[in-house]
Amino acid sequence: MISKKDKRLLVVSYYWLPDEGTGSFRISKFVKYLLQAGWEITILTASRSRGDDQQVPGLKVVRTDESLLQGESSKVNPSIFYAAKSNWRARIKVWLRLNIIIPDAKIFWYPKALSFGKKLIKENHYSAVLSTAPPPTTALVAKAIASSGDLPLISDFRDPWTNIYYYEDFPLGRIARYFNNRLEKSVLKASSDIICVNKGFFPGFEEEETKVHYISNGFDPDDFGKHQSDQSERSKKFTVSYFGSLKMNQVSPGFLAFIQNIPEGQLANLRFHFYGNVDQIARDSVLKVLPENLELVFKGTVPHDMAVQEMQKSDLLLLLVGMADRSKLVYSTKLFEYLNSAVPCLAFGHQDGAAAHVIKETNAGHLSSHQEYLPALQFLEERLADWKAGLEIKGASVEALDRFNFKKLSTQLENVILSRI
């Protein structure tokens, strides 16, 4: 039996609340349910406080010296890699970013984070260190902290490291590739356990190691139980909504053709809403093919709580998976929130990818390839006909979704940690 004093965890996460992006979402849900399971947790993060941090029993948040981060945006937009194709200055910036600053631009956080981390483990009796990446710098910080205190290291990866999608279009130079591979291997070797969202993050390593575990992204039922769908809002127009950042590598030929070829007779009944940060290049690409009478509004970034409400008021949710081949490996948190909203999903992505598998398994909607648009148009027409007829438009199967509940996923993570202490 593990005692209360043994359930003490140091979590290293570059992003943390109040940041509500993908960098903090997964780890914040794990922490929430680990706290409920009786853990005492310290978060070591670079994210700034807004001065209104909630006091949560069992949770301590240590924020490093914010002066180090002045002038730096809280999140790095991966679209700089794609904008580079049309701008020589951007190409130089990308080359420097990938080949000089290794493993990523957050490496300048390393000295301060390590100093804070070493102080924390001297003052507290932690049972283990848990990191979440990207950025890979976080994994390096956690490795050094765990080593200094001779603690088990559990490394969580939401995305691959050297196998990440944008390296397909912008391969690392020989020297940068060598050092990134070396750093990646050092973390994998030092880790007591490695958590990946999906298979394929570390080819050649996963197959040989029993310490690699797969815990997908998921949804938090508490985010949805407090919201009710507004049926009167649904009755005005059939609303297709997109949530999250939108980068140019997600705007596929199939999606653009889909927008461009929506039949004239359907336009008056349709509206498209985009919530989140939409790159200017992506925005321009969509507007260029937009039919004249189709309502499309870019709503900007909204708080997560509001985003969930708008999801549930929508009639169809749009998912655009990145076109890089490696993008098919990743289960996005957005996908599972879509599915739990009980609203059907229309996706453009890899037909052999993770998103396609989950959508099919849960009977949540339809996924077209990056090159197709006719099947997507047919799916839209069918859902629109149901809406006009006043029929219920069903989303994912509740039973099939249950295993993606963050409460259950957190139990899987807890079991991994407990096996090492």
Query: Between the CA atoms of 160, 254, 291 and 249, what dihedral angle is there, to the nearest 10 degrees?
Result: 20
Q: Determine the structural domain holding residue 155 and report its residue range.
A: 4-91+104-218+406-418
- In this structure, are 296 and 351 located in the same domain? yes
99 lies in some domain: no
98 lies in some domain: no
- In this structure, are 214 and 260 located in the same domain? no
364 lies in some domain: yes
The CATH code of the domain that includes 373 is 3.40.50.2000
Q: What is the CA radius of gyration of the chain?
A: 22
Q: What is the chain's pLDDT, residue by residue, as a tens digit (421 residues)?
A: 566 678 999 999 999 999 888 899 999 999 999 999 999 999 999 998 877 677 899 999 999 965 444 434 444 455 555 555 556 777 777 788 889 999 999 999 999 999 999 999 999 999 999 999 999 999 999 999 999 999 999 999 999 999 998 888 778 899 999 999 999 999 999 999 999 999 999 998 987 789 999 999 999 989 886 545 554 455 689 999 999 999 999 999 999 999 999 999 999 999 999 999 999 999 999 999 999 999 999 999 999 999 999 999 999 999 999 999 989 988 888 999 999 999 999 999 999 999 999 999 999 999 999 999 999 999 999 999 999 999 888 888 888 889 999 999 999 999 999 999 9
Q: State the total domains in the chain.
A: 2
CA distance 176 to 236: 54
- In this structure, are 177 and 143 located in the same domain? yes
- In this structure, are 51 and 179 located in the same domain? yes
Q: Tell me phi and psi for residue 213, to 5 degrees.
A: -125, 155
395 lies in some domain: yes
- In this structure, are 198 and 228 located in the same domain? no
- At 120, list the tokens: 């924390």
How many Cβ atoms are within 10 Å of 230's Cβ, its own excluded?
Answer: 12
160 lies in some domain: yes
- In this structure, are 411 and 351 located in the same domain? no
- In this structure, are 264 and 328 located in the same domain? yes
- In this structure, are 256 and 112 located in the same domain? no
CA distance 409 to 90: 40
- In this structure, are 226 and 214 located in the same domain? no
- Among candidates 53, 232, 14, 39, which has minimal Cα distance to 133? 14
Write out the E strands in 121-256. 128-133, 153-157, 193-196, 212-214, 238-243
- In this structure, are 250 and 352 located in the same domain? yes
What does pTM read for this prediction?
Answer: 0.88
- In this structure, are 337 and 250 located in the same domain? yes
- In this structure, are 213 and 357 located in the same domain? no
